[in-house]
Structure 1
Amino acid sequence: MNVFHDIEELRAAIGTHLGYSDWHTVTQKQIDTFAEATGDHQWIHTDPVKAAAGPFGATIAHGFLTLSLVPLLAGRVYRVEGISMGVNYGADRLRFPAPVPVDSRIRAGVELLSLEQGGGGYRLTARVAIEREGAAKPVCVVDAVSVLVP
């Protein structure tokens, strides 16, 4: 875990890869709960029998479920102290190059790209690449933008 005690320590780390989170297993229960929350009940996510005969051989996580795990996984790589709060601001780039089959183990690698003053604090852009254990391609790559408020 990388702990930055203030904005200046964070600024000094811009341009570096901070490392990887621990592994997280994506379960069918998690996929079903996400489907329930979003109303996206497409069979490739929620019907294990039909999905077994489909293109991926099993159900797969929603791309946006994978994206929604960024705060959890990135939070296991680094944290910034000395701020009152951090809020999600958006994403500059988002891709889902490969699927996440049920029961896959995923983890996130984090690279700090930029830190700019503005938006009521500091805008931090971090490239988060989520990889699946044993896969050649990442399953999600996002340039996540946060606002850190002093």
Structure 2
Amino acid sequence: MAVGALAKSDGKDYPGNMTVFVFLACLVASSGGLIFGYDIGISGGVTSMDPFLIRFFPSVYAKEQEVVETNQYCKFDSALLTLFTSSLYLAALVASLFASVTTRKFGRRMTMLGGGVTFLVGAILNGFALNIAMLIIGRILLGVGVGFSNQVIIR
């Protein structure tokens, strides 16, 4: 159990100070995991919205509307919907394996910047998606951005 506020000091004085740089570095490092949580919350909510299902997954929407007495989650059994949801996580897994090489070659800042730009391009592509292929490609780009950024932050 961690009780840092109640622990006694051993008398050593450490010269480290809280600076703006230290604060921003801690803020960036601590927010790295928020990307996954944010995506889970967003994609989970979006995949259950009727307008989204009607536009991109009409067969799932039709199954959802058939019988309402059964569990609704059993009707989300589309392989494309599963690919849409899991593509980000699979891309993040693969990207994190290559991110350490990129970090050694280009440095942490450039790797995080590249991951952020890739994430931004994926978000824009998902925002303007016209079909399922654009959605999945956008999710893959989001996953690459998340994989690179999280590997650099956690490393």
Q: What TM-score, normalized to structure 1?
A: 0.27
The structure carrying a bigger helix percent of its residues is 2
Question: Which entry has the higher C-alpha Rg, 1 or 2?
Answer: 2
The structure carrying a bigger strand percent of its residues is 1
Q: What TM-score, normalized to structure 2?
A: 0.27
- Ranked by relative contact order (alpha carbons within 8 Å, sequence separation 6 or more), the top structure is 1
